[in-house]
């Protein structure tokens, strides 16, 4: 059952629900598109940011209302907050002591959305690109701090996964007074330097992960090459109508980034070929599974803003595409081409119909030089907020060495380096990871 609730200016709770041991409340906040100091009463353009509150029915409503907040910042960029139907993993552990606020970062989910159709309302490509400059970590953090004020919360706890960890570092840089403690999983961003150094590191890790995977499933080495060669000479089309190219197929390497998902790659590849009247073709089952992996229709911000999360005062200039020249083993023309990771290339905006309308916007953002700083290294060097981070040794998305470089630059940050997990560690043992990190920050007081 849901009940409509009264609202106050800038904030409303439109419904509450209770099911399977979860109590939820749906929060809508009106925030400035462009934050500035003291602009809680801003009259400029405003947008909506949605957040869902989760608490456990182990607590009465009154008890839950007295629990401190834990803000969760999810991966991305452009990822909406998780929609869960039970308290499991890290959320099960967290709900014992916190109310969890699951944020739909601006532009995602039920927050004022950013999609091709909505961007058209902004005007031409230049106007759209300018609008999107307000959707990076600095703006997400400003939203969070604005929301904390609206909720009347004391400094709160923050947990950041992947890109959410990047946002947590931005929070520590520009609004540490709003933080009680910070937990980071697979998300210590490099604080300085061009995006190129990220891809120089991660291409090497993706190559090593390919080798590890093909060691487990040697038959898949031949299968991947066979699929690439097939796609070079035989047109195959996804159900949405676009052609599946060799380089788009290589994007299924996204499976390689996880403990819980990596073996699913084998199950995908075993569905690849069937015999037809026209000879050997890719099966409809395989093509449909691939479509869900290679399309950015559900999350265009991920592609459009991806390299900007590393940009500070310099243009990214399609860094992954340029660095790829140093790694010819990833080229489809290689003798046995490797599967790729999360890198974004300019051809995405030609081959993916959902991104094609944003091609000029993406080019403008890639060439943009005046990106604002995302971190303040002086503030981080003097940090007093307890921080603990899980650093995954073999992470193909957030490089271990760069993460430790950042850990050393943040005063008091405790890094737990482990080879037990990959980037999706909290999906495998979220409860254990959360408890460990929370124990680390609490023991540092």
The pTM (predicted TM-score) of the whole model is 0.94
Residues (pLDDT < 50) of the chain are 1-4, 6, 41
Q: Can you give the pLDDT at residue 444?
A: 73
Domain ranges (residues) in the chain: 7-192+375-443, 196-367
Q: Can you give the pLDDT at residue 258?
A: 82
Sign of CA dihedral 37, 43, 48, 54: positive
Q: Can you give the pLDDT at residue 38?
A: 57
Q: Can you give the pLDDT at residue 95?
A: 94
Q: What is the pLDDT of residues 199-243, one digit of tens each?
A: 999 999 999 999 999 999 999 999 999 999 999 999 999 988 999
Mapped to the 3 state alphabet, what secondary structure does the chain carry? CCCCCCEECCEEEEEEEEECCEEEEEEEEEEECCCCCCCCCCCCCEEEEEEEEEEECCCCHHHHHCCCEEEEECCCCCCCCCCCCCCCHHHHHHCCCCEEEEECCCECCCCCECCHHHHHHHCCHHHHHHHHCCCCHHHHHHHHHHHHHHHCCCCEEEEEECHHHHHHHHHHHHCHHHEEEEEEECCCCCCCCCCHHHHHHHHHHHHHHHHHHHHHCHHHHHHHHHHHHHHHHCCCECCCCCECCHHHHHHHHHHHHCCCCCCHHHHHHCCCEEEECCEEEECHHHHHHHHHHHCCCCCHHHHHHHHHHHCCCCCCCCHHHHHHHHCHHHCCCCCCCCCCCCCCCCCHHHHCCCCHHHHHHHHHHHHCCCCCCCCCHHHHHCCCCCEEEEEECCCCCCCHHHHHHHHHHCCCEEEEEECCCCCCHHHHHHHHHHHHHHHHHHHCC
Closest CA to 187 of 442, 34, 406: 406
Distance CA 16, CA 281 (A): 50
Closest CA to 201 of 389, 422, 402: 402
The answer for 217, left when phi > 0, alpha when psi is -120 to 50, beta otherwise, is: beta
Q: Which of 139, 230, 423, 424 is catalytic?
A: 423
Is 422 considered catalytic here? Answer: no
Q: Can you give the pLDDT at residue 330?
A: 97
Is 370 considered catalytic here? Answer: yes
| The listed CATH number (3.40.50.1820, 1.10.3730.10, 3.30.70.260, 3.60.150.10) that belongs to domain 7-192+375-443 | 3.40.50.1820
Q: Can you give the pLDDT at residue 4?
A: 43
Distance CA 139, CA 239 (A): 37
Sheet holding 156-161, edge to edge: 7-8, 11-19, 22-32, 46-56, 99-103, 69-73, 156-161, 179-185, 387-392, 413-418
Q: Can you give the pLDDT at residue 240?
A: 87
Q: Can you give the pLDDT at residue 40?
A: 53
Whether residue 354 is preceded by a cis peptide bond, meaning omega within 30 degrees of 0, is no
What are the beta bridge partners of residue 181? Answer: 157
- Gap between the terminal Cα atoms of the chain: 42
Q: What is the pLDDT of residues 101-116, one digit of tens each?
A: 999 999 999 999 999 8
Neighbours of 139 (CB within 10 A): 23
Q: Can you give the pLDDT at residue 2?
A: 39
Q: Which of 55, 111, 162, 295 is catalytic?
A: 162
């Amino acid at each position: 059952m849901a009940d409509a609730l009264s609202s106050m200016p800038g904030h409303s709770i439109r419904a509450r629900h209770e099911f399977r041991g979860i109590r939820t409340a749906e929060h809508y906040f009106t925030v400035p598109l462009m934050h500035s100091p003291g602009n809680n009463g801003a009259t400029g353009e405003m947008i909506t940011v949605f957040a869902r509150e989760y608490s456990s029915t182990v607590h009465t409503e009154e008890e839950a209302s007295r629990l401190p907040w834990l803000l969760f910042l999810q991966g991305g960029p452009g990822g909406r907050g998780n929609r869960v139907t039970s308290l499991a993993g890290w959320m099960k552990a967290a709900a014992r002591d916190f109310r969890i606020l699951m944020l739909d970062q601006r532009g995602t989910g039920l927050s004022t959305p950013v999609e091709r159709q909505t961007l058209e309302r902004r005007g031409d490509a230049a106007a759209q690109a300018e609008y999107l400059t307000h959707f990076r970590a600095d703006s997400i953090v400003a939203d969070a701090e604005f929301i904390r004020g609206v909720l009347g919360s004391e400094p709160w706890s923050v947990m950041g996964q992947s890109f959410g960890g990047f946002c947590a570092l931005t929070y520590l840089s520009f609004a540490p007074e709003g933080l009680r403690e910070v937990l980071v999983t697979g998300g210590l961003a490099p604080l300085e330097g061009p995006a190129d150094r990220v891809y120089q590191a991660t291409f090497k890790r993706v190559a090593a992960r390919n080798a590890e995977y093909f060691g487990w499933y040697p038959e898949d080495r031949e299968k991947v090459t066979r699929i690439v060669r097939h796609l070079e000479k035989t047109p195959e089309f996804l159900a949405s109508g676009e052609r599946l190219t060799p380089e788009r197929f290589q994007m299924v390497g996204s499976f390689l980034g996880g403990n819980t998902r990596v073996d699913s790659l084998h199950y995908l590849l075993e569905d690849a070929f069937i015999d037809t009247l026209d000879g050997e073709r890719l099966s409809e089952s395989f093509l449909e599974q691939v479509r869900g992996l290679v399309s950015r229709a559900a999350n265009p911000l991920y592609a459009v803003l991806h390299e900007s999360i590393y940009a500070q005062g310099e243009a990214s200039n399609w860094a992954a595409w340029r660095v790829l020249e140093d790694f010819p083993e990833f080229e489809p023309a290689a003798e046995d081409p490797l599967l790729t990771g999360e890198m974004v290339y300019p051809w995405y905006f030609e081959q993916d119909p959902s991104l094609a309308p944003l091609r000029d916007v993406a080019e403008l953002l890639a060439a943009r030089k005046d990106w604002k700083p995302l971190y303040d290294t002086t503030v981080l060097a003097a940090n007093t907020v307890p921080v603990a981070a899980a650093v995954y040794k073999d992470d193909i998305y957030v490089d271990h060495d760069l993460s430790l470089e950042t850990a050393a630059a943040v005063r008091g940050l405790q890094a737990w380096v482990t080879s037990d997990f990959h980037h999706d560690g909290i999906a495998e043992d979220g409860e254990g990871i959360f408890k460990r990190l929370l124990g680390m920050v609490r023991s540092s007081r």
